[in-house]
Chains A and B, each alone.
Chain A
Amino acid sequence: MASVVAEHDDHHDHHDHGPEKGLLRWIITTNHKDIGTLYLLFALVMFFVGGTMALIIRSELFEPGLQFVDPQFFNSMTTMHALVMVFGAVMPAFVGLANWMIPMMIGAPDMALPRMNNMSFWMLVAGVLLLAATLFMEGGAPAGGWTLYPPLVLQTGKALPFAIFSVHMLGVSSIMGAINVIATIFNMRAPGMTLMKMPLFVWTWLITAFLLIAIMPVFAGAVTMLLTDRFFDTSFFNAAGGGDPVLYQHIFWFFGHPEVYVMILPTFGVASTIIPVFARKPLFGYASMVYATAAIAFLSFIVWAHHMFTVGLPIAGELYFMYATMLIAIPTGVKVFNWTATMWKGAMTFETPMLFSIAFVVLFTMGGFTGLMMSVAPVDFQYHDTYFIVAHFHYTLVPASVFILMASGYYWLPKWTGNMYNEKIGRLHFWLSAVSVNILFFPQHFLGLAGMPRRIPDYAIQFADWNMVSSIGAFMYGFSQLLFVWIVIDTIKGGVGKATDEVWEDASKHGLEWTVPSPAPYHTFTTPPEIIPTEHL
């Protein structure tokens, strides 16, 4: 891998030698690293905004009785927490990683469409700000749940059209981001970087980008129908005019189910990138990982109504969606087995990124198990819309997507900043997170099975103990995350010293990004690197 040349020797005709100075740099930047940084920092801020909302929810649920908030505001909080976390934190964080890492992983000088890249970021910011502004509008923010089911969501006050418009903006932003990813991967790979040589993170993002292009417009359509139903007397979802509120649920979940995979597929990609490095072994079953990801993405389009088993589906529908959903367990199982096999007979070390990744495999699998339980339609008649569901999807999002995002932070921070983070604090952050996330979410399984519905601001006395435990876990988890902020700032300022170019032992065997200097120069791979067959391929 001696082919990579130091960047500052390169000669350019145009003005992009380095970043602009001052604030303007961040507003007009078209550099993939700058935009990646913007996305990541924005996501981190939103993670704390959404987290604050979660803590408001958990404070109210600390004890039976209504102590802090009005039920309507509580409903706004559950709605906004979900929307902010999904559209403001997790998705942008993965777009940020894609911006930073995809060009460096495939040996491209930048993203394919740098100006569109800038636009999609700022549209995201505008969309999220507009969404947040609905909190201060007359009648309050949307309070019908993030699924925005009519007729309830149509009872929203002044905020409804603004919330819908913000969803449109978020959708356009995501679609632009996805187009950029696809164009970059298809057209910008260094010579010799064939598709089946790409790191799995790139593969999973490619598939995710196609999912996004397919589903975001459908969601935009669904909310547009809500808008016309409310203001222009159409009757898509109004029985009085020949519509059907259940139709909305079908359209929503046609978007919604692939949407949850948008958040988990890149997670799989990062896990498949990190685990081999710290096991000092090639990834087990690279090809089957790619096929499994594609299979999961395909299945995500044909299982949507498993979110609606109790809505009154015909028996044929119940059976079909049950069988199709159960099938997802197979490719997902393959992935878990592959990660286990990657660790098997390796020479593992347990730096913070690896710790988070292992916790991801274990805790995501637990979320997968409850998912398998819920796929069985008749039993879902008990589980549906209870805390069991809340526990399930938080296990597949928090100790999965969020843990892997943390792992990514620790894994690539030295490359991004050129400095090594404080391993001790990193491990402390991990152990606090891993313990508290289980205190937070595990009791919610018990609550759901015992009969506690989701989205209620107050509950019967028999649910009191586990709710209290869960709330304590929530505060522990929430405050532990401040350690990560400290680490990011500390590492930017110098951390515990300079990082080597390779950062992790033998990492350059696992990815092109480890062949460039640390910190990564403003422009990398302006001359395509020579791709030599690496050991794991």
Chain B
Amino acid sequence: MSLDTEQKNRRLVIKLILIAVLMFGFGYALVPLYDVLCDITGQNIKLQQSATDPVHEFVVDEKREVTVEFITAVNEKTPMEFQAETRTLKVHPGQYYTVNFKAKNLLKTPIKAQAIPSISPGLAESFFKKVQCFCFETQLFEAKQEKVMPVRFVVDPKLPEQYKIITLSYTFFDRTNIIEN
């Protein structure tokens, strides 16, 4: 193999390894990229940019009714009971409502748990404003403690006509071990 070829090989190898390293980084870059894309297209909305939205006065649209559903789930072995006090609510866009959720620690030791919200349809997310909510922070539940947790929200009157039902879901995850580690 001539010296010239060896040099050409070396340069090429460096370039190719660089591409491989860049692609490894690209894999990680997909994580924030995904959040952006989800936001635009309405997939698996994480609602994490702002836990609560600022209070804003809307004109109440008395003529229009939107059904809001509240569903709850408890993930895996999280030792909790968790229910919405109201399962469905007919609301007028622009008006503020409060719905209570009840969560109870079934254990006799304290646990830490966190509620993760999700919304369906995803594209309605930006029109569903929560001014008070219990998500995005880990909650401490004392032994056997039951908490009533309110969510105060308003549906933006600008919500496109095609949306008549919005579902808000909360899932509680046990974070006791994670936090301690």
Residue numbers of A with Cβ under 8 A of B are 109-110, 112-113, 175, 178-179, 182-183, 186-188, 213-222, 225, 233, 236, 239-242, 244, 246-247, 250-251, 254, 312-314, 316-317
Contacts and interface: CB of A to CB of B under 8 A. Distances in A.
A109 B2 CA distance: 12
B20 A317 contact: no
Given A221-B27, A314-B41, A244 B34 contact: yes
Given A113-B9, A188-B5, A216-B20, A314 B27 contact: no
Interface string B139-175: 0000000000000000000000000000000010101
A314 B122 contact: yes
B41 A317 contact: yes
A251 B116 contact: no
B181 A179 contact: no
A110 B179 CA distance: 56
B107 interface: no
A183 B44 contact: no
Nearest to A175: B20
Contacts of B43: 246, 312-314, 317
B127 interface: no
B48 interface: yes
Contacts of B46: 242, 244
A215 B34 CA distance: 17
Contacts of B181: 233
Contacts of B1: 109-110, 112
Q: Is the interface of A mostly helix, strand, loop or mixed?
A: helix
Contacts of B19: 213-214
A250 B17 CA distance: 24
Q: Is the interface of B mostly helix, strand, loop or mixed?
A: helix
Given A216-B20, A233-B178, 17 more contacts: A110-B1, A179-B16, A182-B12, A183-B13, A187-B5, A213-B19, A215-B23, A217-B24, A218-B27, A225-B28, A239-B173, A240-B175, A247-B30, A250-B30, A251-B30, A312-B43, A314-B43
B42 to A, nearest CB: 5
B118 to A, nearest CB: 8
A113 B13 contact: yes
A150 to B, nearest CB: 13
A480 B73 CA distance: 52
Interface in B1-58: 1, 5, 8-9, 12-13, 16-17, 19-28, 30-31, 34, 38, 41-44, 46, 48
B7 to A, nearest CB: 10
A213 B20 CA distance: 5
Contact of B31 (A175, A246, A247): A247
Nearest to A251: B30
Contacts of A254: 27, 30
A319 to B, nearest CB: 11
The 9 lowest CB-CB distance pairs between A and B, nearest first, are A221-B27, A240-B173, A217-B24, A314-B41, A217-B23, A218-B27, A179-B16, A187-B8, A314-B42
A186 B7 CA distance: 13
A215 B13 CA distance: 17
B86 interface: no
Contact of A240 (B17, B21, B116): B116
B28 A246 contact: no
A216 B28 CA distance: 13
A110 B1 CA distance: 9
A71 B41 CA distance: 38
Contacts of B21: 217
Contacts of B17: 179
21 contacts: A113-B9, A182-B12, A187-B5, A187-B9, A213-B20, A216-B23, A217-B21, A218-B23, A219-B27, A221-B24, A221-B28, A225-B28, A233-B181, A236-B31, A244-B38, A244-B44, A250-B30, A251-B30, A314-B43, A314-B123, A317-B41
A16 to B, nearest CB: 11
Contacts of B13: 113, 179, 183
Nearest to B27: A221
B67 interface: no
B75 interface: yes
Contacts of A221: 24-28
B132 interface: no
B176 to A, nearest CB: 11
B168 to A, nearest CB: 15
Contact of A247 (B20, B34, B41): B34
Given A222-B27, A240-B175, A186 B12 contact: yes
B78 to A, nearest CB: 9
Contact of A183 (B9, B30, B31, B123): B9
B114 interface: yes
